[in-house]
Amino acid sequence: MNRISTLAAGALAVVAVTWAWHSPLGVGERFATDVEARARIQLDHDEMLRVQARFERDPLTRRLVLSGPADDFQRAEIKRRMELLPGVGEAVWDPSSLAMEVKR
């Protein structure tokens, strides 16, 4: 094999592995779905039924985006607890949900 063929084969292998990881049926989607399910279980346990958690997917990152009504204390505590979940690198609140207030 000459040098060009070796580089082309290596590039093709990288593209194939990347596609397998990020495809809708790939490992990346299963990983994101699993983390979102664990986040939902934690939010249900904390009785934060109106707060949503979703993994960023375009591109797939380890950032969990939170949205829904919560006061300042709840936002800080939910963010802290979500960042403790395995697979979550960072939890952030969706800026559009920061304007929401808890109705009492």
- Give residue-wise pLDDT tens across range 89-99: 999 999 887 66
Query: Is 64 among the domain residues?
Result: yes
Q: Is residue 1 part of a domain?
A: no
In a domain, 5, yes or no: no
* Ramachandran sector of residue 14 (left: φ over 0; alpha: ψ -120 to 50; beta: rest): alpha
In a domain, 21, yes or no: no
Domains held by the chain: number? 1
What range does the domain containing 41 cover? 29-97
Report yes or no on 12 lying in a domain: no
Where helices occur in the chain by DSSP H, the ranges are 3-22, 27-45, 72-83
Here the CATH number for the domain that contains residue 47 is 3.30.1340.30
Contact 52, 79 (CB under 8 A): no
Q: What local confidence, expressed as pLDDT, does residue 44 receive? A: 96
Instruction: Examine the pLDDT at 102 and tell me if it is beyond 50.
Output: no
